[in-house]
Structure 1
Amino acid sequence: MTRYISADGKWTEKEVKDRLLKEIAQYQNHGVQYCPIFEAKQNVFIGCCGLRPYDLENGVYEFGCHLVRSMWGKGYASEAAMAMIDYACKDIKANKLFAGHHPQNSASRKLLERLGFQYTHDEYYPPTGLHHPSYELKQPPAQ
C-alpha cells in the first residue's frame, strides 16, 4: 500500500506505529481518520480510505484511499471513495475536499477525475520528495 506514498515504497514498523497513533489522535481531535476496508464476502483486508484535516478554518478535509495491489482495478476504491465523500458532505459538512496523488499513479488521477475532483496545482509531498498533482472537490458527484 505504500508504493506511492513514501520515497522508497516501504514503511518501517516504527513508521506504521507512528501513523496509527496519528490516525487515532486525528479521530479524537477532529472526528476523522483513515478506516480499514475489508472485502465483505471473505472479510479480507483490502486497504484504507478516509479523511484528515487539511484546512479546517475553511472546512477543507484531505481525502485519500489506498488499496493493496491485488485489489487494484476491481472497483473497491470507487466504492469506498463515494462512501467517504458522502460522509464528508452529509456528516461532517465539509465545504471542500482536497486530494493528491503520486505523479506516476495514473489510476488515482483517473479515479479522482471520475469522482469530480478538479486539478488545482502541484503540491510538495515530503514523504515522497515529489510534487504531487493536487485536486479539489467542491460538489459531490451525482449518485
Structure 2
Amino acid sequence: MDNYFIKSERLGFSTWGKEKFPFAKELWGNINVTKLIDSRGELNDNQIFEKLNAEIENYKKHGIQYYPIFLLENNEFVGCCGLKPYDLDNGVYEIGFHIVPNHWKKGIAKESATRIIKYAFVDLKANELFAGHNPNNIGSQKLLNKLGFEYIGVEFFEPTGLNHPSYRMKRNTTFNNT
C-alpha cells in the first residue's frame, strides 16, 4: 500500500473507503479506544460502519477526514489522524487522532498530529485548529500542550456526554515539532 497522499518520517496517510472496514474495526472496535471517544463503549460492526461512513462523507463533502495512518516500513495500520469541519466559514478545523493501543506511547500521535498541523496550515490555509479530549485522557492533554495548543475552556461533546477540555492553535503559532 503506497497510495499515501502525505507522509511523515515514519507514517503514511491514506483515505478511508469501505474496503478499509477491517482497519476501522481494529481501531473503533477496541474498547480501550472507544471508551475515550464514545459513551456507547464497545462498538458493534454496525456502529463501526457508521463511524467509517461519517469519515467517508466528510471527505466527499469537505475533502478532509481522520485519515487512516500506516507505518511506512511495513504498511501496518496504526490508527487515524486528521481533520473535521469545526467552523469552516472562519477557516477553523478540528484536529483529532485515534491510535490503536499496541502503538500507544511510541510517538505515533505526536508525529501524525504534527504532520496534520502542517497540512492544515500550509496546504489548507486553515486560520485555526480546535482540539478537545476526554477529561480522563491525560495522554491527549499532555500531547496537545506539547504541540503548542492553548487551553480555551470546556466544550460539551455529545458522543461522550462529557465536557471536554478544549484547545486552539492559531495559524501564526509556532508549534513544537521536536
Instruction: Please state which band the TM-score falls in when normalised by the shorter chain.
Output: over 0.9
Question: Paired residue for 2:73?
Answer: 41
Is 1:112 the counterpart of 2:138? The answer is: no
| Contact 1:85 1:140 (C-alpha < 8 Å) held by counterparts | no
| Contact 2:147 2:176 (C-alpha < 8 Å) held by counterparts | no
TM-score, normalised to structure 2, is: 0.76
Equivalent-residue separation in structure 1 for 2:48 and 2:176 (angstroms): 35
Inter-CA distance 14–91: structure 2 relative to 1 (3 Å threshold): same
Number of aligned positions between the proteins: 143
Residue identity over aligned pairs, in percent, reads 50
Match of 1:121 among 149, 153, 177: 153
Match of 1:24 among 56, 81, 105: 56
Question: Paired residue for 1:56?
Answer: 88
Is 1:88 the counterpart of 2:120? The answer is: yes
Q: Relative to structure 2, which stretch is displaced further, 14-23 or 117-126?
A: 14-23
Equivalent-residue separation in structure 2 for 1:140 and 1:84 (angstroms): 14
TM-score, normalised to structure 1, is: 0.94
Equivalent-residue separation in structure 2 for 1:106 and 1:42 (angstroms): 30
Alignment deviations for residues 56-114 of structure 1 (CA, whole Å, 9 cap, x no partner): 11110000011011111110111100110000001111000000001011110010011
Equivalent-residue separation in structure 1 for 2:69 and 2:121 (angstroms): 20
Match of 1:132 among 164, 172, 178: 164
| Secondary structure in structure 2 of the residue aligned to 1:35 | strand
Shift of 1:27: 1.0
Unaligned ranges ≥5, structure 1: none
Task: Calculate the aligned-residue CA RMSD, in Å.
Answer: 1.2
Equivalent-residue separation in structure 1 for 2:55 and 2:167 (angstroms): 22
Unaligned ranges ≥5, structure 2: 1-32
